[in-house]
Amino acid sequence: MEIHGAAAIVFGGASGLGEATARRLAADGAEVVVADLNAERAAEIAAEIGGRSTGCDVTDPESTQAAVELASSLSTRGLQISVTCAGLGTPGRLIGRDGPTPLESFAKVITVNLLGTINALRLAAGAMRSNSPNDSGERGVCVNTASIAAYEGQIGQVAYAASKGGVVGLTLPVARELAATGIRIMTIAPGLFETPMMAGLPEAAREALGDVTPFPARLGRPTEYADLVAHIITNPMLNGEVIRLDGALRMAPR
């Protein structure tokens, strides 16, 4: 899939991995919609990259559909690229000091990370189905974001690991379902990256986290995630797979 001239949407594009992806796709010539719950920040980024923005809650079908329609209108080729980075990392043990953790604490994380991904995926792919195929028969590419927590979830990551495991699990069946329509589905499972969540930690803590990565012994850079997104889009043989982007990191229990 050629990025230049394509319409693209980045859910959760106002910060971190999503912001880096929106900037990379715009630099490569895509018409980008930055869709984020933080509509003000999304508008700022869109203005900087020459794109469009919209407030969007991936758990809300109406606002997500409106975002997809906006992106679809930006190119005669229709919406061809969708990247979902929206998510929550709220920690929580199964059983806390006062007993079992309230169910709603888990439900919110799973709703945003898993159902939000499914919602964005179904609406973006639904729009892509009406595109004319390119010379390779492709109509679109969707990239989801999981986490290495899907494989080595740590203590206190009950809902987060479960939600990201769900994103990993849906990748192959959705890719198989959409193969007949020429839509590819891929998932990236990042390790420890320089995101707003990490930015809130002291420098010493960030360095310590980076040191546990075998190589390179540092936190990943959002631009490196964006580089992989761009490669996935342009490599037609990448489909139905999850790529760990983690510098060979395997997380310890805590």
Burial of 99 (C-beta count, 10 Å sphere; 0-12/13-18/19+): exposed
- Tell me if residue 232 falls in helix, strand or coil: helix
User: Is position 36 within any domain?
Assistant: yes
The percent of residues above 90 in pLDDT, for the chain, comes to: 90
Q: Answer yes or no: is pLDDT of 21 > 90.
A: yes
Whole-number pLDDT of residue 120 = 98
Give the pLDDT confidence score for residue 201 in this predicted structure: 61
Sheet (strand 31-36) strand order: 52-55, 31-36, 7-11, 79-84, 140-145, 183-190, 242-245
Phi-psi region of 22 (alpha: psi -120 to 50; beta: other; left: phi over 0): alpha
Residue span of the structural domain in which 25 resides: 7-242
Least Cα distance to 25 among 1, 54, 61 occurs for: 1
pLDDT tier at 198 (50, 70, 90 boundaries)? confident
CB 115: neighbour CB atoms within 10 A?
Answer: 15
Catalytic one of 160, 195, 225, 228: 160
Domain count along the chain: 1
**Cα–Cα dist 53/42, whole Å:** 6
- Inside any domain, residue 33: yes
Name the pTM for this structure: 0.95
- pLDDT tens-digit readout, 84-139: 999 998 899 999 999 999 999 999 999 999 999 999 999 999 999 999 999 999 99
pLDDT above 70 coverage of the chain, percent? 97
Q: How far is the first Cα of the chain from the last one, in angstroms, to the nearest whole number?
A: 40
d(Cα 177, Cα 10) in Å, to the nearest integer?
Answer: 22
Q: What is the mean pLDDT of residues 186-193?
A: 96
pLDDT score of 224 = 98
Question: Is pLDDT above 90 for 214?
Answer: yes
Q: Is residue 250 part of a domain?
A: no
Contact (CB, 8 A) for 24 and 163:
no
Report the pLDDT averaged over residues 244-249.
96
Task: Identify the CATH number of the domain in which residue 43 sits.
Answer: 3.40.50.720
**Predicted local distance difference test score (pLDDT) of residue 211:** 84
pLDDT at 202 over 70: no
Does residue 204 have a pLDDT over 90?
no
Confidence label for 28 from pLDDT (cuts 50, 70 and 90): very high
Is 251 part of a structural domain of the chain? no
249 within some domain: no
Q: Taking a C-beta distance cutoff of 8 angstroms, is the pair 196, 16 a contact? A: yes
Q: Is 151 a catalytic residue?
A: no
Element (H, E) at 14: none
The mean pLDDT value for 31-46 works out to: 98
Residue 12 inside a domain? The answer is yes
Tell me whether residue 248 is in a domain: no
Q: Is residue 77 part of a domain?
A: yes
